[in-house]
A and B are shown apart, each in its own frame.
Chain A
Amino acid sequence: MANVLWLIPLLPLLGFLLNVLVVWRDSDAARRERNAGYIACGAVGLAFVLAFIAFIELAMLPHEEQHMHVVLWEWINTGSFSVPIGLLFDPLSSVMVLLVTGVGTLIHVYSIGYMHNDERVVRYFAYLNLFIVMMLMLVMADNLLLLFLGWEGVGLCSFLLIGHWFERKTASDAAVKAFVVNRIGDAGMLLAMMTIFAHFGTLSFVGEESFLERAREIAGQYVTIPGQPTWILLTTGISLLLLVGVTGKSAQLPLFVWLPDAMAGPTPVSALIHAATMVTAGVYLMARTHSIFTLSPTAQSVVTFVGVATALIGGTAAIAQWDIKRVLAYSTVSQLGYMVAAAGMGAYAVAIFHLLTHGIFKALLFLASGSVIHGAHDVQDMRRMGGLRKAMPTTFRVYAIGAIALAGIFPLAGFWSKDEILATAWGKGQIGIFAILFITSMLTAFYMGRQIALVFFGEQRDSSYHAHESGPMMTWPLWILAVGAVIGGAMNLPVLHTLTHWLEPVLEEEGKAFDLTTLILALVATGAAVGSAYGGLRYYMHNAHRIKPNRQDPLYRYFGDIWNMFEEAWYVDQTYERYTVVPWYRSLAGFLGEIFDPQGIDGMVHGVARLVQGAAAGVRLVQNGYVRTYALVFLTGVIAIIGYLVIAW
C-alpha cells in the first residue's frame, strides 16, 4: 500500500480533472449534473476505501514502525536546497486522512441532494474534489513547504466555494474577507518557514534530519553560539509565527472574524471546510510540529490563552445569534478554541481526539441545518422557524443527536473528548483556564438547547412557507454521521486510550490514568451540561410567544448591552472596522490608489518601459541590415576582448 499511497490524493484529482475537462462540456443539463455528482462522490469514496486499507495496513505494523513514507519525486534538488514531493502516512496523518475522506464522502453524497438544480453544479463538485486533494496534501505532506502548498490550496478552494453564489453580494464579500484575513495568517506561516529553513536547513518532518529532530538536538545544548539567537528565542519565535498561521486558518482570536461570514457559502461547504476539515488544519499543524512548541513554555502559554479566549468569545457569541448557521459557526470557533487550548497545554492527542469527534458531530449539525434550510425554503432566521419537528422528523432526530454530542452529554462523542480537555486543565492545576472552559461548555449546552427549542419546538412562527423533509440522498449521510456522533467517543475511552496510544509514535503522549477526580469531573461536567441544555430548551420553549421576526431575544431584557456585545462577538469585527479599516483603508488606500500607484509604481513601470523601448530603438538603429555595420560591431568586440586580455594579463 505504501507504494500506491499517491493514489489517495490522485483519485479526487482525477475527479476534479474529469469534471473540469469532460463533464463540463456536456450540453444536457440533467446528465451533466448527475455525472458531476457521481464522479465526485466516486472519487472521494474510493479514496476513503484506499485510505482505510492503508490504515489497516499501518495498524498491522509493529508499533514503533508505524510509518509509511514515499518520496514521489524530487521536484527541485540543487545541492543545499531540495524540494521533495513526498507523502507521509503515519498515525497522525492516517486519522486526518480518514476524517477528510470519510466525512468528505458523506458530504459529497449529501451535496447531490442539496445542490440539485443549481446551475453551477459541475463547478461546485470540481472545487469540492479539488479541496479534498489539497486537504489530503496538507495532512500527508512530508515537509512544511508541501504542507503550505496544501494550506494555500484549501484556502483557495474555500474562497471559491464561499463565493459559489457570487452574484449575492454577501457571498462574494465573505469570500474576499476569508481570503484577506487568511493572508495575515499565511504571512506568519511563510515567515515561520523561512526561519526554520534559515536555521535548520530543511523543512522536512521525517527522519533524523528533520527540523523537528534538529530543534530537539539544539535544545539539548545549553551552549550559545555567538551571533545566533538562543534556542529558546528561536523556538519561541517559530512557534509564535506558526501560531499566527493557526489563528488565520483555524479561526482563532484575533482572526476568527472571517468564519461566521463564510456561512454565506453552500451549507455542505460549511460542513466540510468550515467545520470538519480545513479549519482544523491549524490544530493538525500544531500537533505535527509539537516538538517545536513544547520547547517554548512562553509560546505554549500564549497558545493556551488564545485558545481559551477564543472558546469563550465564540461560546458567548453563539448564544446570541438568530441565524441557524451562525450559531453553529460561532460554536465551531469556540470548539476550535478548545482544541487549541488543549494543544497549548501540551495535550496534543486530546486536541486531535476532540478534532475528530468535533469533525463528525459538527458536520452532522451543519448538514442537518442544511436540511432545515433546504426544507424551509432557504429560511435561515430561527425567529421564522419553530415547530419543524413535525414536518422534519428525521432531521429533528439527527439534529438532537448532534446537539447532545456537542453539548458534551454522556455517553455521546463530545462528552469524552471535551471531558478530556477539562480534565487536562484541571490536572495541570490551571484553575482559571479550567473555569473558563467549564463555563464555555455550559454555554455550549445552553445555546444548543436554545437552538433546538427555536427551530423544532413550538409552533411555526412564519407560515409563509411549507416546510418539508429532505430526500434520502440527504438523510442517509445524516444517519451515518449520527451513528458516528453517538459512538465516536469509543475511539479514546478513558483507561483504554486507544487513540492516544495509536498517536503515541508521533505525539509521544501517554494516556492519563483514570482516577476519582476525573470521575467526579465527568459527573459534574455532564450534570452542568444537562442542566444548561435543559435550561436553554425550557426557557425558549416557555418564551416562544415573545419571539417574533425582527424582535430582540427574550434574554435581552436581563443583559441589555452585554447581549449586544455577545451578538456582535465582542465587537472584534467593529474594532477592525473602526481602528484599521476606516483610518488605514481610507487614508492608506487613498494614498496608494491615487498617488502612489499612478505616480510611483506606474511611473516607475512606464519609466522602465520607456527606457527599454528607447534602448530597443537603439538596438534597432545599429541593426540596420548592412553587413559592414555588423562586421564593425564584431570587430569592436574582438578589440575589446583582446585589449582586456592584454591589459589585464
Chain B
Amino acid sequence: MNIAFPDINMLVILPLIVIFGSALALLLIDLFFIPAGNKKITGYLALAGLLFTGLAGVPLWGMEESSFSGMVVVDTFALTLNVIFIIIAAITIIISLDYLPRQGIEQGEFYPLILFATGSFVLLAQSTNLILIFLGIELLSITLYVLTGFAYPRLSSEEAAMKYLLLGAFAAGFFVYGIALIYGETMTVDLNQIRLYLTELESSSTAAVPGPTLLLIGGALVLIAFSFKIALVPFHMWTPDVYEGAPTPVTAFMSVGTKGAALAALIRIVTIALPTVQDAWVPVLAVLAAATMIVGNVGAVAQTNVKRMLAYSSVGHAGYIVLGVVAMSAHGIEAFLFYLLAYSLTNLGAFAVIIVLEQRGESAWSLDDFSGLGQRQPMLAVAMALFMLSLAGVPPTAGYLGKFFVFAAAWESGLGWLVLIGVITSAIAIFFYLRIIVRMFMHEPVRDVQPALHRSITWTIAVAAGAVLLFGFMPNLFIDLAQRSVIALGG
C-alpha cells in the first residue's frame, strides 16, 4: 500500500498553533514561575497569547486555502469569527481577573483553560471534516466541564459540572453515531466529499434508487448533538442549571462563545455538505428554533434570579441566531455574524455588571441587588440598562439591528411564521429585561451592595456599552466584513 503524505500548509493552522502553543506554554509558566496569590500575571500573559493569536490572523487575511487533505480551511469567514472569539476570550479573562480572587477560587489553570476552549472555537470555525469537528467539540466540552466545576468547593458548581458532563457524554454519543451513519452512506467524513456524493446521487436519481436515508438520519443525529451545544429546545435542559452553577465569567464565556463556535461548525456542515437536502433539515431546525425562542423567553419570565434569567434569555437568543442559519442565504449568514457580535458584546457586558455586583460566597443573584442602582451607581445602571435594551432588541442598539437582520433574512427566505414567533417572543422578552431597568431606576435600594468596580472591569463595561451603541448606529463597520465572509463561504 502506498501512503502518500498530503500537501501540508502550516500557515493555514497558524492561529491554532499560536493559541494552543501559548496555552501549553502558559500552563508550564504558571506551574513553575507564577507565585500563588499572584495569578493575575497568568491572566495578563493569557491576554498576550490572545493578542498573538489575533496577530497571527493578520498575514492570513484575504487568504482562502484548505490544507491537510481538505480537513482545515482558512477563509474570511473563519478569520472574522476568530476576531469575535478573541474578543470574547479577552473580555472573559479581564472580567475574571478580580472575580477569581474575590471568590477565593483563583487558580492559575483558569486562564490556560480559557485559551484551550478558545482554541477549540478556532478549530471549529476552520474545520471542514466531521472527525475534526468532533475533536473540536470534545476539546471544547472537556475544558468547559472543568471550568464549570471551577468554583470548588461550591456545591452548585460541582453539581453543574457533573450534569454537564453526563449529558454532554450522552450528546457526544449521538454525534459519533451520526458520523458513523454518514460514513456508512457516503464512505467519507469530508464535507466537500459528502456534497459531491449527494449531487451525484441527485443527478443519477431514479425511482429505483432510494434516497440517502442513512445520511439523513446521521445528519439528524449530528444536528441533535449541535443542538445540545447550542442549547436548542428540547436539548437545552442542562443550560439553566449549568449556567447558574458555573462561575459567572465562565457562564458569560459559554453563553456566547460555545454558541458561536458550534453554530460556525454547523454552518460549515449545512452549507458545504447538506445544501442539496435542505428540504429535509430546514423544517427540523426551524421548528427547533421556534421552540427555543418560545421556551427560552417564556422560561425567563418566571425567574427572579438574574443569573438564571440570563441563562434562559441566552437559550432564547440561540433561537434567534439560528434564524440566520435556517434562512440558508447570504443575508442569513451576515445576520448570524452580526447577531453573534452584537449578542456577545451585550451579554458579556451584562455579565460583567453582574460580576461587579456579586459578593463573595453569594449565590442569590437576586433582583434586589439591582434595586436603586440608578441612584447609587448611575453610570453602571445606565450601562446595564443599555445592555438590557440591546438584549430586548430596542433601537438604537446593536441588539436591535441583530434581531432586525435575522428577521429580515428569515422573512426573505419565506419563513414568515418563524419571524412572527420571533417578534411575539421578543415582545414577551421585553418584560423581564425591562424589569431590571425598572428595578434599577424606579425602586429604592433594598440592601447595601458594594459594587466591586476595578479599573479593568469598568473599562470593559464602558467599551462594551460603547460598542453596543456604535454598532447600533453604524452596523456597516462590521457588515462589510460579514459580507466578505459570506463570499468566502461561497454564498
Contacts and interface: CB of A to CB of B under 8 A. Distances in A.
Interface of A: 73-79, 81, 609, 612-613, 615-617, 619-620, 622-623, 625, 627, 629-631, 633-634, 636-638, 641-642, 644-646, 648-649
Contact of A612 (B237, B241, B428): B428
Nearest to A611: B298
Given A617-B302, A625-B241, A649-B216, A637 B475 contact: no
A74 B476 CA distance: 7
Contact of A645 (B241, B284, B409): B284
A623 B240 CA distance: 8
A642 B223 CA distance: 11
Question: 10 tightest A-B contacts by CB?
Answer: A616-B302, A630-B237, A637-B234, A619-B299, A78-B408, A616-B301, A615-B298, A633-B234, A627-B166, A641-B220
Nearest to A608: B428
A619 B298 contact: yes
29 contacts: A73-B473, A75-B475, A76-B475, A78-B331, A78-B404, A79-B331, A79-B408, A79-B412, A612-B298, A612-B301, A615-B298, A616-B299, A616-B301, A617-B302, A619-B302, A627-B162, A627-B166, A630-B237, A631-B170, A633-B237, A634-B234, A634-B235, A637-B235, A641-B223, A641-B284, A642-B220, A644-B283, A649-B213, A649-B216
Contact of B404 (A76, A623, A636): A76
Contact of B224 (A79, A616, A637, A648): A637
Contacts of B196: none
A613 B432 CA distance: 12
Contact of A627 (B163, B223, B233, B284): B163
Given A78-B405, A620-B302, A633-B237, A627 B167 contact: yes
A613 B299 CA distance: 8
Contacts of B201: none
B216 A645 contact: yes
Contacts, number: 99
A463 to B, nearest CB: 53
Contact of A73 (B162, B298, B412, B474): B474
B173 to A, nearest CB: 11
B238 interface: yes
Nearest to A72: B474
A75 B163 contact: no
Contacts of A637: 224, 227, 233-235
Given A74-B476, A645-B220, A634 B302 contact: no
A164 B216 CA distance: 68
A630 B238 contact: yes
B161 interface: no
Contacts of A612: 298, 301, 428, 431
B463 interface: no
Interface in B433-489: 473-476, 479
B241 A634 contact: no
Interface string B209-239: 0010100110011011001100001110110
B299 A73 contact: no
Contacts of A633: 234, 237
B243 interface: no
A76 B409 CA distance: 13
Interface residue SS majority, chain B = helix
Given A630-B163, A633-B234, A75 B473 contact: yes
A79 B479 CA distance: 13
Contacts of A76: 401, 404, 475
A631 to B, nearest CB: 6
A633 B404 CA distance: 32
Given A625-B241, A634-B228, A619 B295 contact: yes
B280 interface: yes
Contacts of B473: 73, 75
B174 interface: yes
Contact of A641 (B167, B224, B408, B431): B224
Contacts of B409: 78
Contacts of B474: 73, 75
Contacts of B299: 616, 619-620, 623
Contacts of A620: 299, 302
Contacts of A81: 408
B298 A644 contact: no
B479 A77 contact: yes
A609 B302 CA distance: 11
B280 A73 contact: no
Given A77-B476, A642-B217, A649 B428 contact: no
Given A73-B474, A641-B284, A644-B284, 19 more contacts: A78-B412, A79-B331, A609-B431, A612-B431, A613-B302, A616-B300, A629-B237, A630-B163, A631-B166, A631-B167, A631-B170, A633-B234, A634-B228, A634-B237, A637-B233, A637-B234, A637-B235, A641-B224, A649-B211
B298 A638 contact: no
B55 to A, nearest CB: 29
Contact of A630 (B167, B220, B280): B167
Contacts of B237: 622-623, 629-630, 633-634
Of A76, A623, A641, A645, chain B has the most CB atoms within 10 Å of the CB of A641
Interface in B64-91: none
Contacts of B412: 78-79
Contacts of A609: 431
Contacts of A79: 331, 408, 412
Nearest to B405: A78
Interface in B38-55: none
Of A76, A620, A636, A644, chain B has the most CB atoms within 10 Å of the CB of A76
B323 to A, nearest CB: 14
A450 to B, nearest CB: 51
A586 B235 CA distance: 55
Contact of A613 (B211, B241, B301): B301
B425 to A, nearest CB: 10
A629 B412 CA distance: 38
A630 B240 CA distance: 11
A77 B241 CA distance: 39
A617 to B, nearest CB: 6
B410 to A, nearest CB: 11
A74 B480 CA distance: 11
A648 B233 CA distance: 21
Nearest to A629: B237
A630 B235 CA distance: 8
Nearest to B411: A78
Nearest to B164: A627
Of B162, B295, B300, chain A has the most CB atoms within 10 Å of the CB of B295
Contacts of B401: 76
Contacts of B475: 75-76
A645 B408 contact: no
Contacts of A642: 217, 220-221
A632 to B, nearest CB: 9
B167 A649 contact: no
A73 B476 CA distance: 8
Interface in B406-421: 408-409, 412
Contacts of B217: 642, 645-646
Of A73, A74, A75, A644, chain B has the most CB atoms within 10 Å of the CB of A75
Contacts of B234: 633-634, 636-637
Of A74, A77, A612, A648, chain B has the most CB atoms within 10 Å of the CB of A612
A557 B431 CA distance: 65
Contacts of A617: 302
Contacts of A638: 174, 221, 224
Given A74-B476, A77-B479, A642-B220, A616 B280 contact: no
Contacts of B171: 634
Contacts of B298: 612, 615-616, 619
A620 B301 CA distance: 11
Nearest to B329: A79
A626 to B, nearest CB: 9
